[in-house]
Copies of this chain bind each other. A is one copy, B any other.
Amino acid sequence: MGKTDLSRLADLAVAVGANVQEGQVVGVVAEYGQEEFARAIAESAYKRGAKFVDVWYFDPLVKRARIEFAPEDSLDYVPPWFGERLLKLGELGGANIAIRGMMMLPRIAETNVIVNERTVNWTVVPYPTPPWARTCFPDLDDEAALTRLWSEVQHVCRLDEPDPYEAWQDRIEALERAAAALTEAKLDAVHFEGEGTDLTIGLLPTSTWRMARWSTAGGIKHIPNVPTEEVFTSPDPERVDGYVRSTKPLVLSDGTVVRGLGVGFEGGRAVEVTADEGGEVLEVRTQIDPGACRLGEVALVDRESRIGQLGTVFYETLLDENAASHIAFGSGFRWAVETDDDRARVNKSAVHIDFMIGGDDVSVTGLTSDGERVPLLRDGVWQIAAVTA
Given A42-B65, A51-B77, A54-B81, 14 other A-B contacts at CB below 8 A?
A: A39-B61, A42-B66, A46-B65, A49-B71, A50-B70, A51-B70, A51-B71, A52-B66, A52-B78, A52-B79, A53-B62, A57-B59, A81-B85, A84-B85
Contact A66 B46 (CB under 8 A): yes
B-contact 0/1 string along A54-84, CB 8 Å cutoff: 1101010110011011110010011111001
Contacting residue for A65 out of B53, B88, B92, CB 8 A: B53
CA distance A42 to B61 in the complex (A): 9
Contacting residue for A81 out of B62, B69, B70, B81, CB 8 A: B81
Contact A61 B35 (CB under 8 A): yes
CA distance A148 to B38 in the complex (A): 34
Interface: A32 (CB within 8 A): yes
Task: Pick the 3 closest A-B CB pairs, nearest first.
Answer: A46-B69, A81-B85, A57-B57
Interface: A3 (CB within 8 A): no
Interface: A241 (CB within 8 A): no
- CB nearest to A75 among chain B residues: B52
Q: Which residues of B contact A198 (CB under 8 A)?
A: none
Interface: A193 (CB within 8 A): no
Contact B25 A79 (CB under 8 A): yes
CA distance A61 to B43 in the complex (A): 10
Count residues on chain A whose CB falls below 8 Å from chain B CBs. Answer: 37
Q: Contacts A53-B66, A74-B52, A81-B81 given; indicate if A59 touches B43 (C-beta within 8 A).
A: no
14 contacts between A and B (CB under 8 A): A38-B62, A39-B59, A39-B65, A42-B65, A43-B69, A46-B65, A50-B70, A52-B79, A54-B81, A57-B57, A79-B92, A81-B85, A84-B85, A84-B88
Q: Which residues of B contact A54 (CB under 8 A)?
A: 79, 81
- CB nearest to A84 among chain B residues: B84
CA distance A32 to B61 in the complex (A): 14
Contacting residue for A51 out of B39, B51, B74, B92, CB 8 A: B74
Contact A80 B74 (CB under 8 A): no
Interface: A107 (CB within 8 A): no
- CB nearest to A46 among chain B residues: B69
